[in-house]
Structure 1
C-alpha cells in the first residue's frame, strides 16, 4: 500500500514523525509520504524510522495557498513531493506562511480568551518545538480546557470561518505556489480538491490554470470526496493529463482518517519519483 498524505507533530498530527512511520509499518504501508503543513522539519526523524522499519519514504509537505478568481478566493492545499527543501523561493514562502500562522494563532488566542479559559501557554502545551501552528492546536487547547469534546466539535462551532474567533493567515497565490514547487524540483499535487464540506472549492477552470502552470496531479481518492466527486475529478485528471493519487490524510488521533484507507497506484508513485529532485527512500 502507498499512502501519500500524512501528518506528524511537525504540524497538526498527533504522532511524532518516527511514530507515524511505525504506525504505517504496522498497518502494512509499503511507501509513506510525510506531508506536514508548510514544513519539512519532520523529514530527518521520519527517514531514520523508515530505514528502521523498512518503509519507503516520500519526503513532502502540504503547502498552503490561495486560488484567486474574479470576486473571490479560496484556500487550497498543495502536496509537494520530493522537492529541494532549501530552494530559496519555496522556502521563503513557507517561512512567511509559518510566521503568519503563529501571529494568527496569537490573535485567535486573544479572541478566545475573552470568552474561554485559554492562554498562549495552553496552546503551546499542545505542540512540539518547531510545530507549524494551526487551528487544530487551538482545538486541542479547547478540548483540554473542557470547552469542547474533540477537534471536530471545535471546528464545527467555535473555530469555523465566520465566527468572531476566526482569523485568516497569509498564503501564496496557488499558481505561484505550483511554480515554486516545480522550481524546487518538486512534484505538485492538489490535495482533496473536491472536499466541499470544508468550504468553497475551486472550479475546474482554476484546476486547468494550475495544470498549465505545472500541476502534476489531483488527489482524487480521499475520504472527503463522494463517489460522484471522485468520478468527476478522475475524468478531469484524464482530460488534463494529470496523475491521480489516493491518500488517507492521516493525522493520528487528530482526525478519524485511518492510515491507508485510500492509496495510490505503484505506477503513479513511479511517475512522481521520475519527476522529483529527490529520490524516494526505500
Structure 2
C-alpha cells in the first residue's frame, strides 16, 4: 500500500480543491490519502465524496498550529470527532480568527512599502480558506514583487522582517489533549525542519511525549537525513508511530505526492488508536 498522510487543499494553503487532490492521488497510485489542511476541516466532505468515487482510502485530519516555549509546532490530528461544539473545534475557530487578524496586520505593514492590498491576498484564497502567509506570498508573486513562495518566505515574509506578525496559538500539549478527547490520534509534523526556523529541543519533545503524543512524522523532505534516524530511534524507544508523508500543496510547493510514505504496519497502528471519525476505506 502507498500511504501519504499529510497533504493540503485550497481550504488551507494548497492549490487544488479536495476533489482535485484526491483525483491526482488516485492517478499517481496512492492507496490511502490523508487530508490535513491547516486549522480547518472544511474540505472533509468533498474529499470523502471524491475518495469514494476514486476508490482510494481517506484519512481525515487537520494540521493544528501550536507554539511551545516560543517555537512553532505543527501537530497533525487524525480521525477525531469533528462535532461543531467540541472543545477542539472551538479552539480551532478561535485560531482561525487570530490568523485572519494577523494576516490583515501583515498586509497593512507590507502595503507601506509594496503595491499590495487585502483584496489582492483574498483573491489568492478560496472561500472558507484558512488564510495565512502562503496566500500573502501568492499575492506578492502575482504582483511581480517576488518570483515564488519560497523567495517570499526566505525574505519579505520571514520572521526576521518587520512585516512579520507572530500569531498566538495554543500549546501542543493542550492540542494533544483536545485531539485525544475527540477520539483522534496525534503526530508531530516535520519536527526537525530547521530550514523553517527554530526546532523544538529535546526537552520540548519529551513534554509532548509525556502529554500523550502518538507519533512522529519522520520521513519528510524537511527533516535532514541524520535527524530522521535520531527521530526513528526516539519513536522506537517510546512506542510511537512513525509516519512518512509528502506534505503536498499542489503547485504551492515542490513537494510531490507520495515522495515519502507511511509503512502499512504503522498505518494500522494509527487506526487502532483512533475512536473518533472513522477511516474511509477505498
Show CA shifts across 1:62-90 (max 9, x none).
0011112xxxx201000000001125211
Contact 2:82 2:277 in 1 (8 A): no
- In structure 1, the gaps of 5 or more residues are none
Where does 1:230-249 land on structure 2 (aligned, <5 Å)?
A: 230-249=228-247
CA distance in 2, matches of 1:169, 1:125: 22
Instruction: Identify which range, 172-181 or 270-279, moves more after superposition.
Output: 270-279
Contact 1:217 1:237 in 2 (8 A): yes
- In structure 2, the gaps of 5 or more residues are none
Number of the residue aligned with 2:137: 139
Structure 1 ranges of 4+ moved more than 6 A: none
Contact 1:208 1:240 in 2 (8 A): no
Number of the residue aligned with 2:279: 280
Number of the residue aligned with 2:182: 184
3-state SS in 2 of match to 1:272: helix
3-state SS in 1 of match to 2:230: helix
CA shift for structure 1 position 174? 1.3
User: In structure 2, which of residues 79, 84, 88 is the aligned counterpart of residue 82 of structure 1?
Assistant: 79
CA distance in 2, matches of 1:225, 1:168: 23
Aligned residues: 278
CA distance in 2, matches of 1:67, 1:17: 30
Q: Does structure 1 residue 121 correspond to structure 2 residue 122?
A: no
TM-score by length of 1: 0.97
3-state SS in 1 of match to 2:217: strand
CA distance in 1, matches of 2:160, 2:224: 25
CA distance in 1, matches of 2:269, 2:219: 17
3-state SS in 1 of match to 2:165: coil
CA shift for structure 1 position 280? 1.1
CA distance in 2, matches of 1:245, 1:260: 12
User: In structure 2, which of residues 211, 214, 238 is the aligned counterpart of residue 213 of structure 1?
Assistant: 211
TM-score by length of 2: 0.97
CA shift for structure 1 position 278? 2.0
Number of the residue aligned with 2:108: 110
Show CA shifts across 1:159-218 (max 9, x none).
000201101112101111111111111100000001111111111221121111110000
Instruction: Identify which range, 129-138 or 80-89, moves more after superposition.
Output: 80-89
3-state SS in 2 of match to 1:66: strand
Instruction: Report the aligned-residue RMSD.
Output: 0.8
Q: Does structure 1 residue 259 correspond to structure 2 residue 260?
A: no
